[in-house]
Structure formats: structure tokens, C-alpha cells
Amino acid sequence: MADETRVLARYAAELTLDQVPTKVRTLAIDNLVDQIGCQVGGSKYPWAVQVYDTFKSTGGVAEATVVRYGDKLPIAAAAFINSTFGHAFEYDDANPFFQGHPGVELIPPLMAIAERDHISGRDFLAAFIAGYEVRGRIGWSVSPFMSERGGPQFSTACGVFGSAAGSARLLGLDVEGLRNAIGIAGSFSGGLMQYDQGGGSVKRIHGAIGGSNGLQAACLAKAGMTGPDGILEGKRGLLRIYSTEYHPERLVADFGKLWTLEHVLFKPHSCCAIIHPAIEGLGDLIKAHKLTANDIEGVEVGYPKRSYEHSAITNPHDLLGMQFSTSYSLALTALKGANTPREYTMEALADPEVKAFAAKVTLVKEEELSRRFERRMPARVTVRTKAGGVHESLVSDPKGTLQSPLTSADIDAKFRGQVTDVIGSVACETLLHALRNIESLDDMAKVAALFRLN
């Protein structure tokens, strides 16, 4: 043990925005735009409204704004609600380098603190990037090994530490205070993954659990509470307890050279990211061979082991299950031609045509894909047609990944697609402009004032 937690805490506490490459700062702003768009778009779903109503009823000090609805609630409550909105429909960012959904784990709690304390846009952005790198290195240290034993889930287990680090920075804590925040966060770390087997809407709050708990850990550290040394690398720390294999050296590797934020994945499809290459593979084959859904006799999808186990629900009973079902997602691809939130509906889930196509899809494990495409998300799609044809597509780098990125313009278009219908085009463009120019903003409360969207 080389006191990696303390070294990582020092890095996060001392990182300045000027040290961050322009490309990484741009990706951070892309992440902010994408996440706020997902919060607006996700605020309408029943489970999102359930969380909103639950926290609204408890009241409390008016500190931070709830997106769309405009209520001001205590920062932890506002962070929990907005994070739930942002992860409400599997459309927010992910990161195949270290797994999880860092944008929704980090942006809502940091926005809540920044609004309350009138933090500048530059200081907010620096705290977000610092928190992201803490989160990324922790996830990298146990990835993919933690998922191979079935969890705990990365957003709840690892996200809490990134949120604690970023929140501690905004609260003005020094290196030791930040280390204490990370140490306290260890007592909030956990979260089971049975949702990818049995569905349920609770998965929608996993990012909120990590984000809001990390904020609370930082607040407790500011109040004087202390956390244990070695919460990450220690004998009973996260790495040794949760993972079958772990690499503490990754916690402190290549500061200033390796930026885990560069591996962010922005989703063009509203489902588990692991399914995206299969969607693209099937879509490519349909287009190349001018196929219709009725032309297809069967579809085989080859996945690495982890992808197979995370997206193999065959008979979903709710929308979460549908979004973690390769067979139902590919049915939407073939029948609807898209996999946006508009296609994932209860009507589609009950549609006999969708069910019939989903029954044509089979999944197989391909260990070769794991060896060839480490820290990527491959899928091999083989289509058999009723006419006797066999067509294959291998997708290793689906759209939105580091190797096949969405542009800032693509992310802006996705933002508009989720926000315009809610608030109109003028208000949408005003909010988008504020987010894109966050570095020049003197007070984050000004952008939070635009969150009241009705």
C-alpha cells in the first residue's frame, strides 16, 4: 500500500483548469450539455416524478433548483432529483474505460453546490473534471473485474467518491479535507445489480445515490467528520472488498497525461450502451442488403461475457428491462428504424410484432471479442434471411465512443431534441448558449435560473 487515496486526493485538490487540455475541457462542456438535456427529457417519466414528489414533500431550506419544475430544495435533495432525471431513460453518458455514468453522478450535486454558493463557471468546471478523474481512476482500478462477479454497480459503488471529491473542492476543503470526504464516501459505497436480470425502476436512481451521497460525504467532511486512511487501497477498502482483481497503481498513474474523460461515451441510442454495437451492426446490414424485418429469419449476436450478462433479458416486463434487452432493442431497430426514447414505450413492449421479432434474436458469448477489444464494446451480428442469405457485421466502436465520437454539434442536436418540445426553441437556445459558455460565467446561479422550464 502506497497511500494512493491521499495522493489521488492531492491531485484532485490541486488540479487547475489551466492544466487541463482544451480537448478535455471541451468534452467536459459536452458532458454538461448532454446531461442537462437528459435531465429535461427525463423529468417527465413516472419514476422521475415519484422521486420529485417524494423529496418535494419533505421541504427544507431553499438552496438549489429542481430542473423543469423550478422548486428550490436543499442541495442534497435537488441533486438526487436532478440526477434521477438525468438517468431516467438510459440516454445519458457512460464510459467503457471504467464503467458507470459519471455525468449523472457528478453534474447534479456540483450544480447544486455551485448554485447555492454562487461559484463561477470556471471553478465549477475544474471541480467537475477533478471529480471525474477521481471517479475514472477508481473505476479503472476495479474494471472490468468488479462487474465479472456481478457488482456492486459502478455508479453507486464508485460514483460516490467522484462526487465527494468534486463537492469537497467546491466547498473549499483542502487536501486533507478532500481525503476525508473520500474516506467518508466509502461508508456510502455499494449497490446491487439485479436490475439487469429482473428489471425494476430503482436502477433509475443509482446515479442519484452516488451523486447525492458523495455531496453529503463532502458536507460531513467540511463539518469536521473524518474518514479512514486507505479507503480505496486498504485491507478493507473498496478495491480489495469489491473486486476479484484490482490495480491500486491505476489510482495515481500518469497524472496530466491520462485523462479518463477522453473515453466518455455519448449515447445516440436510449438503452444500455453495451447493446449499441448490436443496434449499429443490425442497422448496417439492413441498409447494405436492403432488408426488411419480414426478410429476416434470425439474428445472432456475439458478445464478450460481460456484455452478454448485462443485456440478455429475453422477456422484459417493464421499460427498464426492455432497455437492457438486446432482443427487444433489435426488434425496435428492425421495425421502427430507431432506438430513441420515442421507440421505447409500453405499447412497443406489448406489440406482438415486436415480440415476434425479439424471439428471432439469440445471444452467444464470444471470449475472442473480450481478448481483441479490451475496454471497448464489441458485438458481432449475424443475420440469416428467409431467402437463405447469411450476412455478418462486427462493430467494435459504436457511435459516441472515443474511436467514433459524436461531435459537439451532434450533442447540441440531441439536446434540442429533448428540450425544445418542453420549453420552446427560444428558451432552449438560451439555456444551450449559457451551458456552452460556462467558462465565462461569473455565477452558476445564473444558469440555474434557466432550469425553471415551465
Res. 302 pLDDT band, cuts 50 70 90: very high
Quick check: 71 pLDDT over 70?
A: yes
Give the single-character DSSP code of 363: E
Q: What percent of the chain has pLDDT over 70?
A: 100
Three cell numbers at 49?
Answer: 416524478
Quick check: 1 pLDDT over 60?
A: no
Among all chains, which residue has been given the C-alpha cell 462526487? 163
Q: In 143-251, which residue ranges form alpha helices assigned H by DSSP?
A: 145-148, 154-157, 159-170, 175-185, 195-198, 206-223, 238-242
Quick check: 62 pLDDT over 80?
A: yes
Mean pLDDT score, 73-79: 98
Cα–Cα separations (whole angstroms), residue 367 to 151, 308, 400: 20, 11, 24
Mean pLDDT score, 407-433: 96
Mean pLDDT score, 354-367: 96
Quick check: 397 pLDDT over 70?
A: yes
- Distant-in-sequence, close-in-space partners of 185: CB < 8 Å, separation ≥ 6: 160, 161, 163, 164, 213, 214, 217, 227, 231
Do residues 66 and 82 lie in contact, with contact meaning Cβ atoms separated by under 8 Å? yes
**How far is Cα 283 from Cα 300, in angstroms, rounded to an integer?**
14
Q: What are phi and psi of 394, to 5 degrees?
A: -110, 120
Three cell numbers at 253?
Answer: 498513474
Quick check: 243 pLDDT over 80?
A: yes
Res. 367 pLDDT band, cuts 50 70 90: confident
Domain boundaries, the chain: 4-268+416-451, 273-395
What is the domain class of 4-268+416-451 according to CATH? mainly alpha
Do residues 48 and 204 lie in contact, with contact meaning Cβ atoms separated by under 8 Å? yes
| Total Cβ atoms within 10 A of residue 390 | 11
Q: Which of 79-83, 122-126, 376-380, 384-388 shows the lowest mean pLDDT across its residues?
A: 376-380
State the pLDDT at residue 279: 98
Question: What average pLDDT is seen over the chain?
Answer: 96
Smallest CA-to-CA distance from 328 within 309, 308, 311, 303 is with 311
State the pLDDT at residue 293: 98
Mean pLDDT score, 289-303: 98
Q: What is the CATH number of domain 273-395?
A: 3.30.1330.120
Quick check: 454 pLDDT over 80?
A: no
- Distant-in-sequence, close-in-space partners of 427: CB < 8 Å, separation ≥ 6: 450, 453
State the pLDDT at residue 197: 87
